[in-house]
């Protein structure tokens, strides 16, 4: 036993370093191949680390227990306890704990990250700190090189090995300062390599065109220059002042020529130049932040629990002001913490960031000002960029690991001590450690299999529906937290791919499979408006001859509208149901007239909710036209055209209406919009060409 524990002791520091590799972990065999493998591997590594730590403590291996006496060391634990309390009293603890495949940001992730923080805090010394910095420098540089190669191959915004430009930039925004800190621990040749790696990381951040991280690095640069211009002497002070003046001049020139720069075919420049309240992304974020603050005010003390920001988002979603259909974050980490865990969660999160400055003061007093300054800048950069985005496990674990090791070395005068554990603790340590290892199965192995099954279902959705259904059934039977996403993806496969491309029994089988998964989710997650809407849409697109549960459809539509009243799809389905029921009666019959009137009333009620949305005006115009009321049809179409902004779905509706009423100039305008937004639409291109030929022949 002692020999085994001695081996565990030698391996333990390296085990704590292993999550450094998370940014390079991807697997194309999984659904969401960039983030899912990272989170599942992180859970496994954290559970193994916890098992090793318990054995080492039970066998009297020394740790820096005295570091826990410092009040600031308890901030992560306090945040974790508050997160559990908020989630227990929140919307749904199960979802709060497990999160989703695509996010992996629930209580389980927070628990593992905080546990790793304390493992590192209690065991890290200067050697571990240097190894961590060097490992981050190597991995961060590799990730940056990959991203740059990706940009050279295709241009545009790059997501690198994190699959998303903002996540990629956010990770590099932290890794950059760790790389600079690592350079100070290296010999001359390796130091140059580290500085080159840091430069590549900044270049990769620029190529992501992520304005939040670029702004954060600019703020860090300005803080550095102000520091040297006011506190340094000689040439450092002079050059810092000159660079500050140059930045002011360049900034002024940039704003003076913003309109021209916004047209530059280089996204980093164009996106910065286009930033402003009129920019669609910026306007959308401001709208979300404003309403998120209002929602936070409704439950300010405990929030709604982890992973339920989407419930708040759905309440105020407005298609005329928000570009993204579904959100589960406010795109502001500070608001996310306040929404999920209340004001206390926000304050603890801010205190976590401020902890870097507390440790930096200790470094500065020991005359390690370079390291102190770099980590203070890291905290500033992290705070600024997370005002515009949110963490993934790659960035959040790195933040906590750096904070733990940075703080550990800052207070390294505390000696190592053993607990002198009693014999019963040694006996109990083994089954506890074994239990933690067994937990790897539900935390990592089963979700990995479920994610694999979902990816395979996508693979066979058209070519072999039987296999697709088998993989979906097998994945659901694993009873993981992936059931919600199984519903989302089953909806996507059926509505967007299988319904228009399959026929006969294959389509029926695909429908029944999607319906079963979504119905189970609908009955389990009563707060999830997305599941309710998806279920209603699948039911409304049942294959011909398949009986539809009208009561289930009615309940799904009611819930979808109640949880997210401004989403159009549920209102359209209700109107279509009324029309289809009316069409069962003879023309001009009282039943048909009544059904059409009910549909018009539904659409009018929805238009009253979102009067600036163009599409429902065209739906209502088409309905008026079908009822023979051409005057009101023209009035609604005029309102739709007046509020139109470039949008493919609206353009299709408008073009159909104008072709039906033989308004060829307006039909040509919207057909041109369709061709611009969807160049593969040959039917629209053909109709547009015919109208253009006809108009030329008239002249």
Helix (H/G/I), strand (E/B), else coil: 230: helix
In this prediction, residues 412-439 reach a mean pLDDT of: 88
Specify whether the CB–CB gap between 478 and 132 falls below 8 A: no
Helix (H/G/I), strand (E/B), else coil: 417: strand
- Tens of pLDDT, residue by residue over 536-562, are 999 999 999 999 999 999 999 999 999
Specify whether the CB–CB gap between 37 and 384 falls below 8 A: no
Helix (H/G/I), strand (E/B), else coil: 619: helix
- Tens of pLDDT, residue by residue over 465-502, are 999 999 999 999 999 999 999 999 999 999 999 999 99
- Tens of pLDDT, residue by residue over 625-678, are 888 889 999 999 999 999 999 889 899 999 999 999 888 899 999 999 999 999
Residue 660, classified by CB atoms within 10 Å of its CB into exposed (0-12), middle (13-18) or buried (19+), is middle
CB atoms within 10 A of CB 436: 19
Rounded to 5 degrees, what are φ and ψ at 662? 60, 35
Report percent pLDDT > 90 for the chain: 77
Q: How far apart are CA 187 and CA 678, in angstroms?
A: 55
Specify whether the CB–CB gap between 351 and 406 falls below 8 A: no
Closest residue by Cα to residue 166 from 154, 176, 157: 157
Tokens representing residue 630 in the block: 């051409």
Separation of CA 423 from chain center: 47
Q: How far apart are CA 39 and CA 480, in angstroms?
A: 15
Band of pLDDT at residue 300, cut at 50, 70 and 90: very high
Band of pLDDT at residue 532, cut at 50, 70 and 90: very high
Specify whether the CB–CB gap between 378 and 178 falls below 8 A: yes
Q: How far apart, in Å, are the Cα atoms of 615 and each of 69, 646, 655, 671?
A: 62, 11, 11, 15
275 vs 505: which has the higher pLDDT: 505
Specify whether the CB–CB gap between 633 and 621 falls below 8 A: yes
In this prediction, residues 93-114 reach a mean pLDDT of: 96
Q: Within 13 A of 483's CA, how many CA atoms are on the CB side?
A: 20
pTM for the structure as a whole: 0.94
Residue 388: predicted pLDDT: 94
Angle between helices 333-365 and 369-385 (to 10 degrees): 170
- Tens of pLDDT, residue by residue over 320-339, are 988 788 888 999 999 999 99
Q: How far apart are CA 301 and CA 343, in angstroms?
A: 6
Domain residue limits, the chain: 2-210+276-410
Q: Which residues of 190-202 are buried (b: 16+ CB within 10 A; e: fewer)?
A: eeeebbebbebbb
Rounded to 5 degrees, what are φ and ψ at 418? -100, 150
Residue 121 has pLDDT above 80, yes or no: yes
Residue 526 has pLDDT above 90, yes or no: yes
Q: How far apart are CA 144 and CA 134, in angstroms?
A: 15
Residue 63's beta-bridge partner residues?
Answer: 417
Band of pLDDT at residue 574, cut at 50, 70 and 90: very high
Task: Give the DSSP H or E segment for 52.
Answer: helix 36-58
Specify whether the CB–CB gap between 546 and 508 falls below 8 A: yes
In this prediction, residues 238-265 reach a mean pLDDT of: 88
Residue 511, classified by CB atoms within 10 Å of its CB into exposed (0-12), middle (13-18) or buried (19+), is buried
Tokens representing residue 102 in the block: 């695509």
Q: Within 13 A of 149's CA, how many CA atoms are on the CB side?
A: 7
Closest residue by Cα to residue 572 from 623, 499, 647, 515: 623
Band of pLDDT at residue 419, cut at 50, 70 and 90: confident
Band of pLDDT at residue 699, cut at 50, 70 and 90: low
Residue 318 has pLDDT above 80, yes or no: yes
Q: How far apart are CA 361 and CA 217, in angstroms?
A: 22
- What string of DSSP letters covers 62-104? -B-GGGGGSGGGGHHHHHHHHHHHHHHSSS-HHHHHH--TTT-
Residue 403 has pLDDT above 90, yes or no: yes
Mean per-residue pLDDT over the chain, rounded: 93
Residue 220 has pLDDT above 90, yes or no: yes
Residue 1 has pLDDT above 70, yes or no: no
Quick one: DSSP state of residue 415? Answer: P
Residue 235, classified by CB atoms within 10 Å of its CB into exposed (0-12), middle (13-18) or buried (19+), is exposed
In this prediction, residues 277-289 reach a mean pLDDT of: 88
Question: CA 655, 656, 657, 659: dihedral to nearest 10 degrees?
Answer: 80
Q: How far apart are CA 685 and CA 678, in angstroms?
A: 10
Band of pLDDT at residue 583, cut at 50, 70 and 90: confident
Please report where in the chains the tokens 């039943």 appear, as a residue: 591
């Amino acid at each position: 036993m002692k020999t085994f524990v001695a081996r565990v002791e030698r391996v333990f520091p390296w085990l704590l370093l292993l999550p450094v590799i998370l940014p390079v972990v991807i697997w194309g065999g999984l659904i969401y191949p960039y983030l899912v493998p990272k989170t599942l591997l992180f859970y496994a590594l954290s559970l193994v680390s916890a098992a090793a730590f318990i054995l080492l403590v039970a066998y009297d291996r020394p740790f820096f227990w005295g570091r826990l006496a410092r009040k600031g060391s308890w901030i992560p634990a306090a945040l974790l306890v508050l997160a559990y309390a908020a989630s227990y009293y929140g919307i749904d603890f199960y979802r709060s704990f497990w999160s989703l495949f695509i996010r992996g940001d629930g209580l389980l992730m927070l628990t593992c990250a905080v546990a790793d923080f304390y493992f590192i805090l209690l065991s890290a010394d200067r050697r571990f700190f240097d190894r961590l910095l060097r490992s981050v420098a190597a991995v961060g540089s590799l990730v940056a090189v990959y991203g740059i190669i990706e940009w050279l191959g295709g241009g545009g915004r790059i997501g690198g090995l994190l699959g998303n430009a903002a996540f990629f930039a956010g990770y590099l925004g932290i890794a950059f300062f760790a790389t600079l800190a690592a350079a100070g621990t290296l010999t001359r040749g390796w130091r140059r390599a580290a500085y080159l790696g840091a430069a590549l990381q900044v270049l990769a951040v620029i190529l992501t065109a992520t304005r939040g991280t670029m702004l954060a690095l600019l703020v860090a640069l300005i803080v550095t220059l102000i520091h040297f211009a006011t506190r340094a002497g000689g040439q450092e002070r002079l050059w810092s002042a000159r660079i500050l003046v140059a930045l002011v001049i360049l900034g002024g020139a940039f704003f003076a020529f913003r309109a021209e720069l916004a047209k530059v075919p280089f996204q980093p420049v164009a996106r910065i130049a286009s930033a402003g309240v009129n920019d669609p992304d910026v306007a959308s974020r401001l709208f979300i932040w404003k309403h998120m603050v209002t929602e936070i005010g409704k439950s300010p003390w405990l929030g709604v629990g982890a992973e339920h920001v989407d419930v708040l988002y759905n309440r105020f979603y407005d298609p005329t002001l928000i570009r993204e259909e579904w959100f589960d974050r406010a795109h502001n980490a500070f608001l996310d913490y306040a929404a999920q865990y209340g004001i206390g969660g926000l304050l603890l999160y801010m205190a976590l960031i401020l902890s870097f400055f507390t440790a930096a003061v200790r470094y500065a007093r020991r005359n390690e000002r370079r390291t102190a300054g770099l980590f203070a800048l890291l905290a500033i950069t992290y705070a600024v960029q997370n005002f515009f985005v949110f963490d993934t496990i790659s960035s959040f674990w790195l933040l906590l690991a750096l904070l733990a090791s940075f703080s550990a070395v800052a207070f390294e005068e505390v000696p190592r001590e053993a607990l002198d554990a009693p014999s019963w603790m040694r006996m109990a340590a083994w089954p506890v450690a074994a239990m933690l290892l067994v937990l790897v199965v539900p935390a990592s192995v089963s979700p990995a299999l479920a994610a694999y099954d979902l990816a395979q279902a996508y693979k066979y959705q058209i070519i072999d529906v039987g296999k697709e259904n088998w993989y979906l059934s097998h994945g659901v039977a694993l009873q993981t937290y992936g059931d919600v996403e199984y519903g989302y993806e089953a909806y996507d496969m059926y509505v967007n791919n299988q319904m228009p491309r399959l026929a006969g029994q294959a389509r029926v089988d695909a429908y029944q499979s999607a319906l079963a998964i979504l119905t189970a989710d609908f009955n389990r997650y009563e707060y999830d408006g997305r599941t309710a809407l998806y279920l209603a849409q699948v039911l409304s697109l049942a294959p011909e001859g398949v009986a539809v549960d009208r009561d289930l459809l009615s309940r799904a539509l009611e819930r979808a509208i109640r949880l997210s009243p401004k989403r159009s799809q549920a209102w359209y389905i209700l109107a279509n149901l009324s029309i289809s029921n009316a069409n069962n009666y003879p023309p001009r019959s009282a039943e048909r007239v009544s059904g059409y009137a009910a549909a018009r009333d539904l659409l009018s009620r929805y238009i009253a909710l979102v009067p600036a949305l163009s599409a429902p005006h065209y739906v209502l115009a088409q309905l008026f036209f079908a009822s023979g009321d051409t005057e009101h049809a023209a009035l609604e179409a005029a309102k739709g055209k007046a509020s139109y902004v470039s949008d493919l779905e609206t353009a299709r509706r408008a073009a159909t209406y104008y072709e039906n009423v033989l308004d060829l100039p307006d039909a040509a305008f919207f057909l041109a919009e369709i061709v611009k937004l969807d160049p593969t639409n040959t039917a629209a291109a053909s109709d547009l060409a015919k109208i253009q030929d006809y108009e030329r022949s008239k002249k």
